[in-house]
Chains A and B, each alone.
Chain A
Amino acid sequence: MALLVLLLMGLMLTGGAYALFTTSSTAKAEEYSASDIDGGKKLFVSNCATCHGAGAQGTPNGPSLIGVGASAVDFQVGTGRMPLQASGPQAPVKKAQFSDDQIKQLSAYVASLGPGPSIPDSEYLDASKGDAAAGGGLFRTNCAMCHNVVGAGGALTRGKYAPNLQQVSEKHLYEAMQTGPQNMPIFNDANLTPEQKRDVISYVRTVSETPSPGGFKLGALGPVAEGLFVWFFGLAAVIGITVWLTARSK
C-alpha cells in the first residue's frame, strides 16, 4: 500500500512538473483568492459531490476532477453541460446553471485540488489575430472528421455526437481543445500551440460569420440537404407546374 501511494505521488509530481514546464497556459500562479476557493468548495459539495465525490476524487458515477484544471470547469459549467441533467450518452449543452461568479468560484476550487489547464489568456481568444487559412488546414485535419468541415457537427457512435461549433464562444472553443470534454481528444499545447488554437478559432469564426456567397446554406450539411431540397422543393414545384399546365385541357 505504501508503495502504491509513493508511486502515485511520484507520478503526480512528475506529471505535474512536466505539465508546469511544458504547458505555457497551464497553472500559472492562480489569481483566485482563498474566499473564491472556499465559496467554490461549498458550491461543489452541494451541487457536484453526489457524482464526483466529496473531495472531487471521483465515484463510480463520475470521474475524479483532481488535476482537470479551471479550464475544464469553466467549459463544462459555463456551457451548461454540468451539472448533468440526466444520464445519457453525452451531456448536452443547456442554459448555464450558475452565474459567472459562481463558475469562477467552482473553477478556483477545482484548480486548487491539483495543477491543470487554467482559463486561457484573452490574447489567444482574439479571432481577428489568428490566421483563418492556417486554422482551416488544422481544422480539416484534426476536427472536421467529427465536427464537419465548417463545424456543423456530426454523429459519433452509440448516441454520442460532435456538437455544432458555429455558436460556441472563443473561450469555450479554446477550453474544449485544451481539456477534451466528453468524447473529444485533448489537444495540448505540444499538439496544437496556443497560436494554432487561435488559428482554429479564427477559422471557425470566419466560416460561421461570413455570409454564404451562394445564398441560403441549407444547414451547411452538404449533399443530403441538397438532395432533400431538390426532391421536396424542386420536384414538388415541377409537379405543381405540370398539373397547372395540363389542368385546362381536361
Chain B
Amino acid sequence: MSTDLNAPPALAATSKWIEERTGASAAVKEFGRKIFPAHWSFMLGEVALYSFIVLVLSGTFLTLWFHPAMGETHYEGPWTPLKGVEVSEAYASTLYISFEVRGGLFLRQIHHWAALLFMAALSIHALRIFFTGAYRKPREVNWIVGVGLVAMGMAAGFTGYSLPDDLLSGNGLRIIDGLLKSIPLIGTYLSFFLFGGEFPGTDIVSRLYSVHIMIVPALLIALIGVHLMFVVIHKHTQWPGAGHTEKNVVGEPVLPTFAAKGGGFFFMIFGLLSAMAGLFTINPIWNYGPYDPSPVSAGTQPDWYIGWMDGFLRLLPGWMEFYVFGYPISLNIFPALLAAAVLFGGMVVWPFIEAWISGDRREHHILDRPRNAPTRTALGVAVIIWYCAMWAAASGDLIAVFFHMSLNDMIYVFRTLFFVGPVIGYIVTKRICIGLQRKDREIALHGFESGEIIRLPHGEYQERHKPLDEHERWRLTAFQTPSYVPAQPDARGKVSGAEKARAALSKFFYEDRVEPVTKAELDEAHAAHAVEGHGSTGELEH
C-alpha cells in the first residue's frame, strides 16, 4: 500500500513497520480491491458466516461449564420440578448453565438460535446459488464445498442437540441408534461401536462432545476458509445488466465500503440473534427432564434441519421388513439414509450433469434469471416441494392437533404430496417461467402496454406502447440459454448410448426453450414502430 502522505506520522510509521515485517500490503491490495456487487440475495451467505461466528463465541463460553459426562448425580439446583431427581452430569451441568451461571441461559439460547439461523441461512444461500446458476463453471468445486458445509452444519447441529442428555435429545439419539442398526449386516456393530455397547451406554455424550467441539468445527472452519478463498479467486458473480460482462464485476470494493457495511451487518445479525435469545425460549431442557430410554414425549421432533429425515421415516409404510436366513432386514428405517444420500449426492453431481446435458463448457460469471432457465428452476421447485413434504410430515402430529385433522389422514396427505407434489410443482413452475420469458420478449420488442388508445388519421385504433429504457431492455435481452443439441456421432462416426441419453435429456431440458431476442428482431421491431408511430412519444403496435 502506498503510504498516504497526508496520514498522521504515527499511522504512517505503524503501517511502514508492519509492511516491512509482513508484506501485508499485497494481501490488503488484493482483498481491499475485491468487488462485491450489491444485491440483497448476495448477502445470505454472509448471514451464515456471521451466525457461525456467534456460534463459535457462544459455544466457547458454554464449554467453560458443561460437563460432558454421563455419571449419575442428583439435581440440587433451583429448578423445583427436578429437585432431587437422578440425572446425568451432562444434564445437571446444562441446568447449572441455564439457571446458575450468570448469562448462561442467554448464551445457551443464542447458541441454539444461531445454529438454527446458520442452517436456515445456508439453505437459502444454497437455493440462491442454485436458482441463479452460480454453481456453473468455474464454481463447481465451491458448490461442492458448500454442500459439505450443509452436511457438516447438520452434523454440528445434531451432535450439539444431543449433548444436554435431556429426554428430547435422547429420543433423537434413539432414532440414530435405530438407523444404524437398520443397516444390513454391520448395523448392530456400528451401533455398539458408536455407543460403546448397548444403547444408550455411558460414553455417547463424551464422544459427541469431541465431535461437536473439535472435529466438526475444525472441518467447518476449514471448509469456510476454502469457500471464501474460492469466492476471492473466482470473483463475485453478478446479475445481467448494462455494463455487466463476463469479464468484469460491477459493485463496491471491499475497502472501504463493503467492509464497513459487512461489519455493520455482522452486528445487526448479532443483535437480531441476541434479541431472539433474550426474548424467546429455545430448547427448554428443564421441561424435558433427564433422558431415560422408556418415556417418549408427544410432539418429539428434531431441530428443523433434521426434520425432513424424521418426516421421511414417518412416511415410510411399516411392512417393508423381511428376514434373510433368520436375520431381519428392516427397510422400514434404512431408506431414510438413502434419502439423505440421494439429496446430498444429487447436489454434488448436479453441476456436472447440467454441463454434460447442455454441452456448455464456458465460464459463467453473469447469473441466470431463474425464468431464463425454466427446466432448472422447475426441477429446483420440485425438489423443494419434495423436501417440504418430508419436512412437514415430521410435524404431522402437531398439524393434526392444530387443524383438527386425523393423524392417519395427515400421513396419507404427505405421502401423496411426496410423490405428486414435485410433479405438479415442476409443471406449474416450468409453465410460469416460460410465460414470463414470453412476456419479457414481448416487452423487449414492443414496449409496455400503456392503456392509451389512439386513433390514427385513417381511422384505425391502436394502443400506444411505451418503450423500455436502454438499461431495462439490456436486462431483458442480454442473456444466452442453451438449446437442444441432438445426439452427435463421435470421432469414429458412432452415436454412443451415453450420447443418446444426453440427447434425450437435452431434449427434455431445452425443447420448449424460448429464444432470447436477437439484435435483428429488435431492429426490425423498432423500424416497424418508428414508421407507424410517426414520431409520437410512444410506440405503436404494427
Which A residues are closer than 8 A to B by beta carbons? 89, 132-133, 136-137, 140-141, 144-150, 152-159, 161-162, 203, 206-207, 210, 212-218, 220-224, 226-227, 229-231, 233-235, 237-239, 241-243, 245-246, 249-250
A214-B298 in contact (CB<8A): no
Q: How many residues of B contact A (CB 8 A)?
A: 72
B297-A140 in contact (CB<8A): yes
Report how far A249 CA is from B35 CA in the complex, Å: 13
Report how far A230 CA is from B41 CA in the complex, Å: 18
B279-A215 in contact (CB<8A): yes
B299-A222 in contact (CB<8A): yes
Task: Choose among B38, B121, B286, B292 the residue that contacts A235 (Cβ–Cβ < 8 A).
Answer: B121
Q: Which of B253-269 contact A (CB under 8 A)?
A: 261, 264-265, 268-269
Chain A min CB distance to B510 (Å):
32
Which B residues are closer than 8 A to A by beta carbons? 38-44, 47, 80-85, 98-99, 105, 109, 112-113, 116-117, 120-121, 124, 167-168, 252, 261, 264-265, 268-269, 272, 276, 278-284, 286-289, 292, 294-304, 307, 394-398, 400-401, 404-409
With a CB–CB cut-off of 8 A, which chain B residues contact A220?
284, 287
B406-A89 in contact (CB<8A): yes
Chain B min CB distance to A175 (Å):
21
B287-A226 in contact (CB<8A): no
* Nearest chain B residue, comparing its CB with the CB of A90: B404
Q: What are the 9 A-B residue pairs with the smallest beta carbon separation, nearest first?
A: A154-B298, A227-B304, A214-B281, A155-B397, A159-B406, A242-B40, A249-B38, A230-B116, A242-B43
A136-B82 CB under 8 A given contacts A89-B406, A157-B407, A223-B307: yes
B298-A147 in contact (CB<8A): yes
Q: Knowing that A137-B289, A146-B298 are A-B contacts, what are 4 other residue pairs whose CB atoms are under 8 Å apart, sorted by A's residue number?
A: A149-B168, A155-B397, A235-B121, A238-B117
Task: Choose among B41, B121, B299, B404 the residue that contacts A221 (Cβ–Cβ < 8 A).
Answer: B299
* Nearest chain B residue, comparing its CB with the CB of A202: B81
B292-A140 in contact (CB<8A): yes
Pair count A-B, CB < 8 A: 198
A234-B401 CB under 8 A given contacts A132-B80, A207-B81, A246-B39: no
* Nearest chain A residue, comparing its CB with the CB of B395: A224
A141-B295 in contact (CB<8A): yes
A149-B81 in contact (CB<8A): no
A137-B40 CB under 8 A given contacts A149-B288, A159-B404, A229-B280: no
Report how far A241 CA is from B280 CA in the complex, Å: 20
Task: Choose among B82, B99, B109, B408 the residue that contacts A158 (Cβ–Cβ < 8 A).
Answer: B408
* Nearest chain A residue, comparing its CB with the CB of B78: A213
Report how far A89 CA is from B400 CA in the complex, Å: 13
With a CB–CB cut-off of 8 A, which chain A residues contact B298?
144-148, 152-155, 162
A206-B81 CB under 8 A given contacts A149-B287, A230-B116, A230-B304: yes
Report how far A71 CA is from B533 CA in the complex, Å: 89
A161-B109 in contact (CB<8A): no
A89, A141, A214, A239: residue with the most chain B Cβ atoms closer than 10 Å: A214
Chain B min CB distance to A158 (Å):
5
